[in-house]
Chains A and B, each alone.
Chain A
Amino acid sequence: MAHVSIGAAALAIAVVAVPAAAHAGTVAGKIDLPPGGGGALEKRGRGFLDRSENPILPVRGFDPLPYMVVVLVPKDGAAPAGAPRQVSWDLIGESFDHPVLPVVAGTSVIIKNRGRSSPVLRATQDPQLIQPGPINPTGAKELKATGGPLITIVDPGSPHLVGRLLVAPSPYFALADGSGRFEIGDVPEGSYTVRVWFRDDWVKRDEETVAVRGKAEVNPKIPPGFLAPAAATK
């Protein structure tokens, strides 16, 4: 759960990922979470005691927004592959700066260790994707985002340390900021299907189409129960 300038980072990723195009437009909006948001923070393990709420202030619920990616998929199906680039993904201690990082296929992802530990990362879908061995503090490892749409990066020694790479079907995507707002720039004119990725899968919702011509606004509505069944895992 990183709280470090997610909105700025999302915009940066969106700008970097989308190639410049003529008659490009911008799609902005805000993810419309159901009442109650992500609900209570899920239990992850326990000690000798069950956790207990503090008596002073209501506990904060689970914030699903850092795990959400809005992706525009061209209706005609001919999505440009997008230019593979190199993306930096920081390990900031006990978590990644972005729990879900959307990339286009073929993107070179540089994992930089900004923390104090030396995790041994492994891609669950393809153990050979990351060169074996620990990443020392200030060290880095590179992996090529292929396959997909999901590449899960874990450290077996620290089960709480999980990062997800979303190999998006189009280069038009964006992360939401802390309030759920997002903006996807340089979107060619046309009609797109708005899809929302949450953690490990696409959110099951009614198909939503947006016509891009100049600036368009779309507020993807997230249905209740979107956490299930993915809510069981982080």
Chain B
Amino acid sequence: MFWSKLWFFVVAIAAAVAVTLALLMPRPAQRARVVEERQRLVVACDVVSILLSENARTRVELAGTFARAPEMIGALEQASGAQAITDAASRAARDAGGRLIGSVEGARPDFAILIDRKGRVLARVGVDESDFGDVLAGRPLVDDALAGYLRDDLWIEKGRLFLVSAAPVVRRDPSVAYTGAVVLGHALTKELTDKLVGSLDVDIGFYVGSDVVASSATVVLDDEALAKALPHQGDVRRDCAANPPFNLRAGKEDYTAVVARLPGEAEQKGAFYTVFIEKPRAIGFAGTLGAVRQNDLSFGSFPWVLVGVGLVLVLGIGMVLMVLEADRPLRRLAADTVKLAKGEAERLAEDDHHGKFGSIARSVNIAIDKLSREAKAARKDLDQLLGPAPEGSLGAADLIGTALPVARPGGSQPAFAPPPPSEFRFGDKGGSGAKPAPRSIPVPAIEDLDLGPARPAPAAAPAMAAPPIAATPKTPPPRPPGPPPRPPVPGTGTPPPGGPPRGRAIDDDILSVDESAEISNVGVEPGSADEEAYFRGVFDDFLALKAKCGEASGGVTFPKFADKLRKNRDELVARTGCRQVKFTVYVKDGKAALKATPVKQSA
């Protein structure tokens, strides 16, 4: 069983490892997914920055287109030479600017500002159109454009975030000179945010301080967490890569976000954008199972053959070990016990059995040896009492007590509470050897001896039951000479229906003896002449049976025999509470034997 246990242990360990792996495997995958999502977020932030730069390039080119328009050049040339800007000049320039905006295909600017060489506003288109003449010089974008640069910037006007671009207006005829600048503004709208993240599977929100300017999602992020994560130093262009993603909440949902400052004037007013995604949920073991697709279980994707071979191998090894270590030894032990039961073997072959089975065999053998020793001791006692037995025979009288049925008062049927058999041996001191034998100890079967009709009871013992000798040998020996058979004692033969219970042996064989041949002292008073006669009858029967069995009877005297019967009777009476004891002579293993049966009844 060692290897079976070891195999079971190995299989259990393997199963535990497999379960542990199954529970652990989602965790690295979850971490990898979180890292991947964070990386994706950073990449998306960078992509957004690139898209915004591309958008800025397009807008700057559009501003250059505006700046090259002849009507713009002419209007700004006139305004730059004038002392003051008139309403008519502003209106004319505004109309020209409106036409240009109307001609733009794609993302039209939300406003256009025409600025003369002195930095004064000639006209506004699309926003505050009635205002003109104020000086916008001083703003970095305007100063750069008036100096000849094309550039972009982000302005915050009236709570709105504008992506602005500017280009210088250059007069080319008759001489090349700067005449002013054109500023175009595109409002940052949800349409633009959706366009920015449309292919990125993320969301984006533009903020000025804690105010949302535009967002692709309707969630309201924790602005404090955003402000806390917002960097205040370093190159704005590296914010996406330099600022690690962080977790924040929006209502009951968890999000992962990365923030990046917006450049230009907007940066100085706390403008930034955040790219965010819903935080990846912990998938766990159940989630991993739920994510398994049918294709994952196909033969092409899963090593079913390997799993099947492994399963068969594990089961096979287990079965082989069970057969080798349990089934076959058990079968051998069972076969040996059958041989033992059939008498084909006296002992179990201990050496043929190993492990626990060997222990069982040894235990059985020990029990057999014990019984054997006890039997030998009993023979020795009987030999001391009745004389030596012939060589090779037991030769002793086995006096085995049997139990009487005990009728439970009020019970519907008699309950058998068999007392321990009264096994005693001649030669026991004080009857201490009469100990109850366990029921589990097998008692050798008693063969009945057919003695023919029961002998009539002697006249000296009219009340003593003289049971017929209950033995039925296969080859009945000739009836020995002796006193005439005693008549059966009333009440000890076939009891009349409803009669009092009578003594019964433990097994059916003994019952049959009780029915047919028995010697009883029912109604015999201890110490009386009847008892003496009854014991004499038993003694005579015993000697006769010994003679019939070809045994020598030397050494057995009636006084010692009667004393033994009396002692045994007294012990049985004291132990079982019976009132009388009957003694039966029978043949056991070809030798004469005696049996004492307590009778719990009145005469």
Contact = CB atoms under 8 A, between A and B. Distances in A.
A54 B167 contact: yes
Interface string B104-142: 000000000000011101000000100100111111111
B207 interface: no
Interface in A30-69: 41, 44-54, 56-61
Contacts of B139: 94, 160
B248 interface: no
A115 B149 contact: no
Nearest to A91: B135
B434 interface: no
Given A46-B151, A49-B53, A114-B134, 10 more contacts: A41-B144, A45-B264, A51-B149, A57-B178, A61-B147, A92-B135, A93-B119, A93-B134, A159-B265, A160-B265
Contacts of B265: 45, 159-160
Contacts of A58: 148
Interface of B: 49, 52-53, 55-57, 60, 64, 117-119, 121, 128, 131, 134-144, 146-154, 163-165, 167-168, 170, 172, 176-178, 263-265, 267-269
Interface in A143-181: 157, 159-161
27 contacts: A1-B143, A2-B119, A41-B143, A44-B143, A45-B153, A45-B263, A46-B151, A46-B263, A46-B264, A47-B153, A47-B163, A47-B164, A49-B56, A49-B151, A49-B152, A53-B148, A54-B64, A54-B149, A54-B168, A56-B172, A57-B176, A57-B177, A59-B149, A93-B119, A94-B135, A116-B134, A160-B265
Contacts of B151: 46-47, 49-52
B118 A93 contact: no
A66 to B, nearest CB: 11
A4 interface: yes
A53 B140 CA distance: 15
Contact of B170 (A2, A46, A54, A157): A54
A161 B136 CA distance: 11
Query: Which 8 pairs from chain A and chain B are nearest by CB?
Result: A95-B138, A47-B152, A59-B148, A93-B135, A51-B151, A94-B138, A44-B140, A48-B56
A53 B134 CA distance: 26
Contacts of B140: 44-45, 160
A115 B134 contact: yes
Q: Is the interface of B mostly helix, strand, loop or mixed?
A: mixed
B264 A41 contact: no
Given A2-B119, A160-B140, A95 B147 contact: no
Interface string A97-123: 000000000000000001110000000
B263 A47 contact: yes
Contacts of B165: 47
A232 to B, nearest CB: 14
A161 to B, nearest CB: 6
B135 A51 contact: no
Given A51-B144, A51-B149, A94-B137, A57 B170 contact: yes
A60 B152 contact: no
Contacts of A159: 265, 268
Nearest to B150: A52
A131 B593 CA distance: 139
Contact of A60 (B52, B60, B64, B147): B147
Given A56-B170, A60-B147, A47 B154 contact: yes
Contact of A94 (B52, B118, B142, B154): B142
Interface string A13-25: 0000000000000
A49 B135 contact: no
Interface string A185-212: 0000000000000000000000000000
A1 B137 CA distance: 6
A47 B147 contact: no
A73 B297 CA distance: 94
Contacts of B178: 57, 60
Contacts of B134: 92-93, 114-116
Contacts of A3: 117-119, 137
B154 A51 contact: no
B153 A41 contact: no
Nearest to A156: B268
Contacts of B170: 54, 56-57
Given A54-B167, A57-B170, A116-B128, A48 B135 contact: no
B390 to A, nearest CB: 127
A51 B149 CA distance: 6
Contacts of A115: 134-135
Which of B139, B140, B178, B268 is packed against the most chain A CB atoms within 10 Å?
Answer: B140
Contacts of B148: 53-54, 57-60
B117 to A, nearest CB: 8
Nearest to B134: A93
Contacts of B141: 47
Nearest to B165: A47
A104 to B, nearest CB: 26
A159 B128 CA distance: 23
Contacts of B149: 41, 51-54, 59
Contacts of B56: 47-49
B53 A48 contact: yes
Contacts of A51: 144, 149-151
Interface string A71-106: 000000000000000000000111100000000000
B182 to A, nearest CB: 12
Contacts of A44: 140, 143-144
Nearest to A99: B138
B128 A95 contact: no
B562 to A, nearest CB: 133
Contacts of A53: 148-150
A114 B148 CA distance: 26
B176 A48 contact: no
- The listed residue with most B CB atoms (<10 A of its CB), out of A48, A50, A54, A160, is A48
Nearest to B51: A48
Contacts of B137: 1-3, 93-95
Contacts of A2: 119, 135, 137
A61 B121 CA distance: 22
A215 B264 CA distance: 49
A51 B177 CA distance: 20
A94 B147 contact: no
B176 A56 contact: yes
A115 B133 CA distance: 9
A63 to B, nearest CB: 9
B171 to A, nearest CB: 9
Given A44-B143, A47-B152, A51-B144, A4 B264 contact: no
A8 B248 CA distance: 59
B202 to A, nearest CB: 19
A8 to B, nearest CB: 13
B406 to A, nearest CB: 111
A111 to B, nearest CB: 15
**Residue among A49, A50, A52, A93 with max Cβ neighbours from chain B (10 Å):** A49
Nearest to A157: B269
B542 to A, nearest CB: 130
A57 B175 CA distance: 11
Nearest to A161: B138
Contacts of A41: 143-144, 147, 149
A49 B268 contact: no
A114 B131 CA distance: 12
Contacts of A52: 60, 149-151
Contacts of B57: 49
